Amino acid sequence: MSADMLHIDVGAYALGLLEEPDRRAFEAHLSTCASCHEELGELRGIARTLDGIGPIAEPAGAIPVPPEPAVVSDLMRHRIRSRRRYRAARALAAAAAGVVLLGGALGTGFTLGADREQAPPARPDTGTAAALMRDGQKVSASDAGTGVTGTVAMQGKAWGSRIGLRLSKVRGPLRCELVAVDARGDAHTVAGWSVPAKGYGLPGSAQPHLTLQGGTALNPEEISRFEVRTIGEGRTLLTVPA
């Protein structure tokens, strides 16, 4: 039983309406609650006064007298019982509402989860380099001198272009960069990376090719070509016309 319910039980205790478990709980609470102790003293005095008043003879022609003390006492008992039932019902209703809300929230979560499982995205990897190489506008080239081959994919965005690169037959160790060259010949860096000693797409290489993505502020129509260059030396390993 909560402390609030124990505070409410002062009147019921004064009139002897509490069941044995509630009575013991209230008496334990009473020993530590000064306000309930004070209120109990007042209510006990009222209860003794009401129960001790006998019937009063009604004079001839007098207006109807109030109910007998026993009736008043019964009314008080009934009112206290009603208040306790009302407070208890409110507490139970609040608890039930909490359970319903929690159940509703969990149910919604499970429903949404089920919906996600039943209708997975058609393209779950839309933000990956592989998806860009699959869906973007692609151009490919190879360089007879270096042996490097590559494919560049472009995808226009409001901020510029997403660029994907698939590179193979390149020997390491190297540090390289992909640049987008505009119509004026200005180079805009798209991405940079390191090539391991065994390279990509060569005998002994761990991977057949390198796939990566980057971006540039240029729109696809502003790009004239792409170049794979070595960092430091500035040597061009591959040129891919846009």
Q: Could you tell me the fold of the domain covering 129-241?
A: Immunoglobulin-like (2.60.40)
Q: Which H/E stretch holds residue 35?
A: helix 34-52
Structure tokens at 122: 């058609």
Residue pLDDT tens, the chain, 242 long:
555 555 566 777 777 777 888 888 878 887 788 777 777 777 766 656 655 555 555 555 555 555 555 555 565 666 666 666 666 556 545 555 554 444 454 444 433 443 444 544 545 455 688 899 999 999 999 999 999 999 999 999 999 999 999 999 999 999 999 999 999 999 999 999 999 999 999 999 999 999 999 999 999 999 999 999 999 999 999 999 99
Domain borders along the chain are 3-118, 129-241
Q: How many residues does the chain have?
A: 242
Q: How far apart are the C-alpha atoms of 190 and 164, rounded to whole Å?
A: 9
